[in-house]
A and B are shown apart, each in its own frame.
Chain A
Amino acid sequence: MAVGADPGAARRAVFPAAARMWARLRRLPLLPLAVILLTILVAVIADQLVPYDPERINPRYAERPPVPFAGGMWEFPLGTDRLGRDILSRIIMGTRISLGVAACALLLGSLVGTALGIVAGYRGGWIDVIVMRTADAFLAFPGILIALVLAVTIGPSFWVVVAVLALILWARFARLVRSEVISCKNRDFVALARVAGAGGTYIVFHHILPNVINSLVVLCTLQVGWAIIVEASLTFLGAGIPPPTPTWGGMVAEGLNYVETAWWISLLPGLAIMIVVFAYNLFGDWVRDVLDPHLRNI
C-alpha cells in the first residue's frame, strides 16, 4: 500500500505520540471545564457581580423562596434567607471563599509535601523513616477534629482552615512524591547524571522533579474537590470561616433548622458545592487519564 494513500496514516506514523495526545484531547470534558472556568471567573470578579451586598440584612424580604415558587420575586432570583439576605449574592461571594481556601491549602500542602517527599525518597535512611511516620500520623488524624481543637484554642478563621487542610494534604503529597522518587532514582538516567558529576540538588531539580510533576498535577486536581468539601464541612460545624462572611457550608448550616419551611436556604448552597466538586472530580479524572494513567487508584 502506498504511503500517500492515506495522509492521516502517514501523519500518525510520524507523530504517534501527537496522534495519541490528540485522541485524548478530543475526550476533553467540556462541561466540567466550563464550570471550572466559570467559577474561577466568578470568584475573581465576585465584587462586581453581586446584585446586593451579601451581608446586608433586610427583614422586610426575609425567607422569600426562589422565583418559580409562590412568593418568589425577580429581585431575588434564588430567594432570601432568614435575615432577608440575597442568596444569589451570598453564593457568588461564597465561591471566592471556597476556591480561595482550596487554592491556598493546595499550594501550601503541595509545596511542603513535595519538598519532604523528595528529601525522604532521595536520601532514604532515618530521614525517610521520620518523615513517613509523621505523614502516617497526620493521615491518621481526623482533620475535622484538629479544626475543632484549633477553633477552641485560637478561634476559627480563614487561615486556620487553610492550615488544617494543608496539614492533611502535605502527607498525601509526601507519600506520592516519595514513592515516585524512589522508583525513578535508581533508573539509568539518574545514575548517568551522577557519573557525569552532577550534584544531589541538580539531579533533584533537573532529573527527578520533571518526572514527578505529572503525578503532582494529577493529585492537585483530584484534591480540589476534597478541599472544598472539607472546608464546607468545617464551616458547617462552626470550626471554619466564621460568620457573617458568606460561605457555602455556613449557609447550609444556617438553614438546617428551617428545612421544613424554608428548604432553599440549605439546599441551594449545597447544590453549588455539589456542582463545583463534580466538575473538579470529572476534570481530575480526565487529567489523570491523560497525564498519568498508572495513578488510577488515587
Chain B
Amino acid sequence: MIRVVFFRLMQSLVTLLITSVIIFALARTSGSPADLVLAPEATPAERQAYIERMGFDRPLAYQYLIFLKNALQGDFGKSLRTGQPATRLVFERLGGTLRLATVALLIALAISLPLGVVAATQRGRTWDRVGLGFALLGQSVPSFWKAIVFVIIFGVWLRWLPTSGVGTWRHYILPAVTLGWGVSAGIVRLLRSGMLEVMGSEYIKLARAKGLRESVVVWKHGLRNALIPVITFIGFMYGIIIASGVVIEVVFGWPGLGLLAYESTLWRDFPVLQLTVLLFTVIVIVINFLVDVSYGLVDPRVRGG
C-alpha cells in the first residue's frame, strides 16, 4: 500500500511539473511577459530592471528555473489592480470556491444516488426514464443558461431566493443546485450502469437466496459495490465542479476563485490570473491523488499495485 501511495505521489508531482511548464509557456504566448506583469504606466527603467531581475533576457530554460524558484517561494508578483501580493488575493477567495463546490457535490450526491439506484432497479420503467432524462438534461443544458433560468423563475417571478452574493444559507441554494445538477448527470449514468452490472452478479444471487430483504440486497450489497466507480468519478467531478463554477460564480456574483479569474481577465490582471489557474490545477491534482489512494482503501484489488 505504501508503495502504491509513493508511486501515485510521484505521478502527481510529474503532472504538477508539466503543469508549471504549461503555465510558464502560456505567459509567453503574448510576446513579452514583462508587458503582462508590469503596470502600463511603468517607466522604461523599471521595465528594464524587472526584465533583468526575472531574467527575461536570458535563455528560456533559465527563465523557467527562475519562475519555478519564485513559485516555490510563493512569489507570484503583485496584483496590477490593487498592488497587493497575488497570493493574498487568491487565498482570500479560495474558501468561497471550496465551500460552494462542496455543497454542490453534496447536493449532487443526494439527488443522484437514489435516482441512479432506482433507475437501475426499475430498468425501462418510469423512474428509469426520469433518471435518464434528468441526467441528459443536466448534461445538455449549459450551466450559465440553467443559472439564468433559475434566476428568472426563483428570483424574478417567485422572489423566493436571493440571486446574487453571499450571506445566509439561502444564498447557497441557487448556485449550488445549478452546479450540482450538471455533475449529478454523470453520477446517475455511472451508478445506473454499475448497479445493472452488480445486480446480475453471483453474490447478489446468493444474498437473495439467503432470503435477505430486497431493499437490503439493493441498498447494502448492491450499492456498496456499484459505488466504487462513482468514487473515482467524484475526484474527476470535483475538478469539473470547480471549473464550471467559474461561470456560475460570475452569474451569481459569488466571491470565489472563478469570479476572481473573471475580474482579473477584465482588468488584464495577469499575475492574479496566473496564480488562480495554477491553484485550480493544483486542487484538481491533489484531489485526484487523494481519490486514487482512497480507491485503494475501498477496493482491495488495487492495493497489490
Contact = CB atoms under 8 A, between A and B. Distances in A.
B242 interface: yes
Given A134-B18, A137-B19, A297-B193, A146 B277 contact: yes
Nearest to B246: A144
B288 to A, nearest CB: 7
A2 to B, nearest CB: 36
Contacts of A259: 148, 151-152, 156
A38 B121 CA distance: 37
B288 A140 contact: yes
Interface string A268-288: 001001100110011000000
Contact of B15 (A136, A154, A267, A277): A136
B265 to A, nearest CB: 5
Interface string B13-25: 0111011001000
Contact of A140 (B152, B193, B239, B268): B239
A278 B251 CA distance: 23
Contacts of B144: 232-233, 236, 249, 252, 270
Nearest to B274: A149
Contact of B140 (A136, A281, A296): A281
B243 A274 contact: no
Contacts of A296: 193
Interface stretch (B26-34, B64-72, B85-93): B26-34
A225 B139 contact: yes
B184 interface: no
Contacts of A252: 144-145, 148
B190 interface: yes
A151 B36 CA distance: 12
A298 B264 CA distance: 34
A266 interface: yes
A152 interface: yes
A52 B50 CA distance: 52
B247 A154 contact: no
Interface string B180-209: 000000000010010000000000000000
B280 interface: yes
Given A140-B288, A266-B148, A145 B136 contact: no
Given A137-B19, A140-B288, A141-B281, A149 B273 contact: yes
A140 B281 contact: yes
Interface of B is mostly: helix
B229 interface: yes
A142 B277 contact: yes
Interface in B252-270: 261-262, 264-266, 268, 270
A144 B156 contact: no
A190 interface: no
Given A145-B261, A148-B265, A256 B139 contact: no
Question: How many interface residues does chain B have, given as a range?
Answer: 35 or more
Given A149-B274, A152-B270, A225-B139, A143 B243 contact: yes
B250 interface: yes
A281 B265 CA distance: 32
A271 to B, nearest CB: 8
Contacts of A233: 142-144, 244, 247
A44 interface: no
Nearest to A275: B140
B302 interface: no
B149 interface: yes
Contacts of A138: 22
A161 interface: no
B277 A232 contact: no
A145 B243 contact: yes
A237 to B, nearest CB: 6
A144 B261 CA distance: 10
B118 interface: no
A225 B261 CA distance: 25
Interface of B: 11, 14-16, 18-19, 22, 26-27, 29-30, 36, 136, 139-145, 148-149, 151-152, 156, 190, 193, 229, 239, 242-244, 246-247, 250-251, 261-262, 264-266, 268, 270, 273-274, 276-277, 280-281, 284-285, 288
22 contacts: A133-B14, A133-B15, A133-B18, A140-B239, A140-B288, A144-B246, A145-B273, A145-B277, A148-B277, A149-B27, A152-B268, A225-B140, A232-B144, A233-B143, A233-B244, A256-B251, A267-B148, A270-B145, A270-B148, A274-B142, A274-B145, A297-B229
Given A142-B281, A144-B246, A259-B148, 10 more contacts: A133-B14, A145-B276, A146-B277, A149-B270, A153-B29, A233-B144, A236-B142, A236-B144, A270-B149, A274-B145
